[in-house]
């Protein structure tokens, strides 16, 4: 069995026992694919991990940068207690349309506030509105902008908040300082900024599974 087939089989085994994907989640993936959206949503076990992180943190407010079809939005929204809120930012109108339908089907229309527009335009508006502080920020959008997203995340959080950055390993390409891939350079700068930021303590976890070889960074705001 190839390495990728093994990773996928292991995901399938644990997901069958531990991850509850109901019709709303399954339809979110199906309808996103039918609408021609890229299949970049988190894997089922990664969605469950985001849900658990939010619940362990006791999050009442979540900021998601990058909605896509709303799959991770549903996982995060379901982690919130009554009265909780989730603001999700999406630049693409087609993605936003699909996500709104998926979120509504999951019964989270009153919980999720989807903002259409480039995140670097909508993030300043959140600051102006006094929308923060958020207990959890999930960064999963265009990687070249990750350094800027981190700066805004710090303005919209407080000590005790958690910041998660997805897709940071990029099949190992992150180790190449001379990469001409702007996504790799964005992740490297993002990581360097975290390392230099005294208000953050963080680690990165490599992952393998149905989505291949990648990883995520988990950071805690401490000051």
Q: CA nearest 65: which of 138, 164, 146?
A: 138
Query: Who contacts 31 (Cβ-Cβ below 8 Å, separation ≥6)?
Result: 69, 98, 101, 102
pTM (two decimals)? 0.96
Summarised one tens digit per residue, pLDDT across range 108-145 is 999 999 999 999 999 999 999 999 899 999 999 999 99
Using CA atoms, how far apart are residues 118 and 94, in angstroms rounded to an integer?
A: 13
Tokens 């930012």 -> residue:
89
3-state secondary structure of 135: coil
Summarised one tens digit per residue, pLDDT across range 142-191 is 999 999 999 999 999 999 999 999 999 999 999 999 999 999 999 999 99
Q: What pLDDT is recorded for position 171?
A: 95
Tokens 């021609």 -> residue:
36
Intra-chain end-to-end CA distance of the chain, in Å: 48
């Amino acid at each position: 069995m190839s390495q990728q087939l093994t990773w996928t089989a292991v995901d399938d085994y644990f997901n069958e026992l531990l991850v509850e994907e109901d019709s709303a989640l399954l339809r979110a993936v199906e309808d996103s694919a039918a609408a021609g959206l890229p299949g970049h949503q988190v894997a089922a076990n990664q969605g469950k991990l985001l849900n658990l992180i939010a619940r362990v943190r006791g999050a009442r407010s979540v900021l998601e940068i990058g909605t896509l079809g709303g799959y991770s939005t549903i996982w995060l929204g379901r982690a919130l207690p009554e009265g909780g809120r989730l603001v999700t930012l999406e630049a693409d109108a087609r993605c936003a349309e699909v996500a709104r339908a998926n979120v509504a089907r999951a019964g989270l229309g009153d919980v999720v506030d989807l903002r259409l527009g480039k995140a670097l335009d909508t993030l300043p508006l959140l600051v102006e509105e006094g929308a923060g502080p958020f207990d959890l920020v999930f960064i999963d959008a265009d990687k070249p902008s990750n350094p800027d997203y981190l700066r805004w995340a710090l303005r919209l959080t407080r000590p005790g908040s958690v910041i998660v950055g997805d897709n940071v390993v990029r099949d190992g390409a992150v180790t190449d300082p001379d990469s001409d891939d702007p996504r790799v350079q964005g992740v490297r700068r993002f990581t360097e900024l975290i390392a230099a930021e005294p208000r953050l303590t963080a680690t990165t976890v490599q992952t393998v599974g149905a989505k291949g070889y990648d990883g995520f960074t988990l950071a805690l705001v401490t000051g």
